[in-house]
Amino acid sequence: MRRTTALRTALSTLLLIGTWTATGGALPASAADTPARPAEAPASPALLSAMQRDLGLTRDEAEARLAAERTAAAVERAARGAAGSAYGGSWFDADRGELTVAVTRAARADAVRATGAAVRLVRYDARQLDAVKKRIDALSAPDGVGSWHVDPKANKVVVNVVAGHRDDNDVRTFLDRARGAGPVAVRQTAAAPRTFAAGTVGGDPYYTGNVRCSIGFSVHGGFVTAGHCGSTGAAVYGWDRSYIGNFQGSSFPGNDYAWVNVGSGWWTVPVVLGWGTVPDQLVRGSAEAPVGASVCRSGSTTHWHCGTVLAKNETVNYSQGAVHQMTKTSVCAQPGDSGGSFISGDQAQGVTSGGWGNCSSGGQTWHQPVNEILNRYGLRLHTA
């Protein structure tokens, strides 16, 4: 199938650098975090432009930030090992351009600093906070509770309550039980989260039934996307309504991920689309960006938008049920963007799940981390 001028440009670029290969063979038996590989440039002009627009940066500032975030991602792995059982989480400080690591024992601070990270002493380690969150996950959350996650900077589990609902009896009961689980902070969110699937609209990347969603990332043999977009076995059709394949696996709620096999004349390429308006971004790996790092999203409704990673391992309370291990961002999205790509530099991050707000007034969006999807289904990311 032929897509758009942008995709043809992306394919030409891939052919010129000798990295494009057609897919269609058997799936690999296992998968892991795809290692980062050095890129010739920090990002495509489209991604840099979106960062300038959405984060208020100059081009030089955007390039410098991406370089600092790549360094922080490498430092985080070393710092976690240096902290050992005293590790309390980490976050990227955009103003200072460095990673901060929380530790519970001063004796580990020098070893962590030696990796290049800043250090903050805290009371609770990451395992203690994860245990608190797990106990809260076991509770039944009412509609007025939007989500909850471990916040390493606050050294607590943060519960986000929808504005105007904090005094609801069922919300107050939930918060009392949550506080009984351990250290909890309550914050207000503007609106309840919702998924971003949409009814049929022409000229978009794929359809299943009367739902339009967005392709996430190419894997060898297909692509990954959001689970709420279709159930296992459902047929998938492309932008031109021709048959692509079927949902080979899908999970929602609890999780929000799925993968679709690709055939019938379609193929996969390791790019995030610019939807016919800008050059596309090559995908070179799936190294996870830290909290505080910049991240951009591409979707069939609102195209490129950028923001920052706000939290990881957050439980999101959709009306259909809770979804676990999500990453929260300040990026906006709208119906039809579901399943689309979240990328930091040239590293795949996850597929769009849902959020609140829109790209006119702003909002927040969650994504399901891509490495979890790859490992769950034994898939291998298609990289340039």
Active centre residues (catalytic): 228, 256, 338
Closest alpha carbon to 367 in 183, 193, 113:
193
CB 195 within 8 A of CB 228: yes
Helix (H/G/I), strand (E/B), else coil: 127: helix
Beta strand pairing status for 156-162 and 184-189?
parallel
Spatial neighbors of 203 by CB under 8 A, at least 6 apart, are 239
CB 288 within 8 A of CB 299: no
Token match 């609209």: residue?
A: 201
| CA neighbours closer than 13 Å in the CB half-sphere of residue 154 | 15
Pull the structure tokens for residue 360. Answer: 């006119």
- On the 0-12 / 13-18 / 19+ scale of CB atoms within 10 A, 114 is exposed
Helix (H/G/I), strand (E/B), else coil: 311: strand
Q: CA-to-CA distance for 68 and 93, rounded, in angstroms? A: 10
- On the 0-12 / 13-18 / 19+ scale of CB atoms within 10 A, 360 is exposed
Q: CA-to-CA distance for 186 and 164, rounded, in angstroms? A: 13
Helix (H/G/I), strand (E/B), else coil: 135: helix
Q: Determine how many CB atoms are found less than 10 A away from the CB of residue 176.
A: 10
| CA neighbours closer than 13 Å in the CB half-sphere of residue 48 | 16
Helix (H/G/I), strand (E/B), else coil: 185: strand
Helix (H/G/I), strand (E/B), else coil: 88: strand
Q: Which residues pair with 293 in a beta bridge?
A: none
